[in-house]
Amino acid sequence: MSTELDISLLTWALTIGFVVALLTVDLVVAAKRPHHVGLGEAAVWSVVYVAIALGFGVWFMLHHGSGPGTEYFVGYLVEKSLSVDNLFVFVIIMTTFAVPDEHRHKVLTFGIVLALIMRAIFIALGATLLSLFSFVFLLFGLLLIFTAVQLFRHRDEEPDIENNVVVRTSRRVLPLTEDYQGGKLFTQDGGKRVGTPLFLVLVAIGTIDLLFALDSIPAVFGITAQPYVVFCVNAFALLGLRALFFLVQGLLDRLVYLSAGLSLILAFIGVKLILQWLHEDVSKSVPEIPTLLSLVVIAVVLAVVTVASLVKTKRDPSAKARPGSLRTRRERADANQERG
């Protein structure tokens, strides 16, 4: 990996301000103009966000060199591929809670804000731990390999949103209205403040965002140890998630091998982290995986997964993609019985 970058406080402030400004635009549009997002609008916004991410990468490479620049582009590719799995779960949540089409824009935007907040916290924690203890690379690597194995084993599963412990607790402690009340989170019913189903949807998305952050942050730290790069690739990957959802929601069901591909990518990055720890703490003779090789491997895996998925669904139209889960439904049921 490249040597530590000297990122000024002004650069941090301008970057965070730019991200917040983009989020504010999304929030204002979602709150003030609930509407069905068509394919044309989604395509335009998707192109805009990808162009922003690529333009930032070019600027970053010109100012900080090819090494950190390559790490940025590889990290962005990793986070963008993992964010597609996010979209699967968002679709499941919105279907489970029957979110009206005009409110899905708002749900996605709030979900992105929650994801960014959680990832910012994990980035700060991860960077602090890595600066203090080099063996954290080993722990991150083992975590990613474990996650990859579980995801591959249960690649045809779906997360059990209704039995999520936070969602079930929210249902018990908070009175809820039957309908969405025009997209409000809370409303008045008989003089009492009650929640709407939209609040429950955001609770579900928030807990899922937390789980995804636990995977994505170690994964990108496997590409770069620069907190600034980690923050930027997460921010720009997530900012385009809302538009990408409306653009590819019809295609998601056809990516039947995506979970298997993501498990391979996570395992590869896990091995990369372990080799890096061995190289730094055990013996310099242990080889490290170059960043450019990581880029090639990840790009090839994603390309093969996409092509193979489209060929599979063309031959077998009944085949349907699943986001994957770390546990089967039976394992989750057994865990709930033990808690009960």
pTM for the model = 0.78
pLDDT at 332: 47
pLDDT at 129: 86
Helix pair angle (241-252, 227-239), 10° resolution: 60
188 beta partners: 193
Residue 82 CA to residue 298 CA, distance in Å, equals 11
Residue 122 CA to residue 115 CA, distance in Å, equals 11
Question: Within a domain: residue 2?
Answer: no
Task: Give the chain's domain count.
Answer: 1
Q: Judging by beta carbons within 10 Å of its beta carbon (0-12, 13-18, 19+), is residue 275 exposed, middle or buried?
A: middle
Residue 176 CA to residue 193 CA, distance in Å, equals 9
* Per-position pLDDT tens, the chain of length 340: 556 788 999 999 999 999 989 888 877 776 666 666 677 777 888 889 899 999 999 999 999 999 999 999 999 999 888 887 777 777 778 878 888 877 887 788 788 888 888 888 888 888 888 888 888 889 999 989 998 898 888 887 776 666 667 777 777 777 777 777 777 777 877 777 788 888 888 888 888 777 778 778 888 888 988 999 999 999 998 887 877 877 776 677 788 898 899 899 999 999 999 998 998 888 888 898 998 899 899 999 999 999 999 999 989 988 877 766 655 444 444 544 444 4
Residue 318 CA to residue 277 CA, distance in Å, equals 45
Please give the backbone phi and psi of residue 257, each rounded to the nearest 5 degrees, phi first.
Answer: -105, 10
Q: Give the C-alpha distances (Å, rounded to integers) separating 109 from 69, 169, 245.
A: 28, 24, 11
pLDDT at 45: 83
pLDDT at 274: 93
pLDDT at 331: 47
Question: Within a domain: residue 135?
Answer: yes
Question: Within a domain: residue 267?
Answer: yes
Judge contact between 105 and 123, C-beta under 8 A.
Answer: no
Residue 229 CA to residue 129 CA, distance in Å, equals 17
The sign of the CA dihedral 162, 163, 166, 171 is: positive
Residue 306 CA to residue 171 CA, distance in Å, equals 38
Task: Identify the domain containing residue 238 by its residue range.
Answer: 9-339
Q: Judging by beta carbons within 10 Å of its beta carbon (0-12, 13-18, 19+), is residue 106 exposed, middle or buried?
A: buried
Residue 304 CA to residue 262 CA, distance in Å, equals 12
In 84-148, DSSP assigns E strands to: none
Residue 319 CA to residue 76 CA, distance in Å, equals 29
Q: Give the C-alpha distances (Å, rounded to integers) separating 206 from 82, 108, 109, 232.
A: 16, 11, 12, 21
pLDDT at 33: 67
The sign of the CA dihedral 139, 258, 102, 173 is: negative
Q: What angle do CA 257, 166, 188 make, to 5 degrees?
A: 120
Judge contact between 183 and 34, C-beta under 8 A.
Answer: yes
Quick one: how far is CA 144 from the chain centroid? 15
Beta-carbon contacts of residue 143 (< 8 Å; ≥ 6 apart): 214, 218, 270
Please give the backbone phi and psi of residue 188, each rounded to the nearest 5 degrees, phi first.
Answer: -105, 135
pLDDT at 101: 78
Question: Within a domain: residue 1?
Answer: no
Single-letter amino acid, residue 254: R
Question: Within a domain: residue 290?
Answer: yes
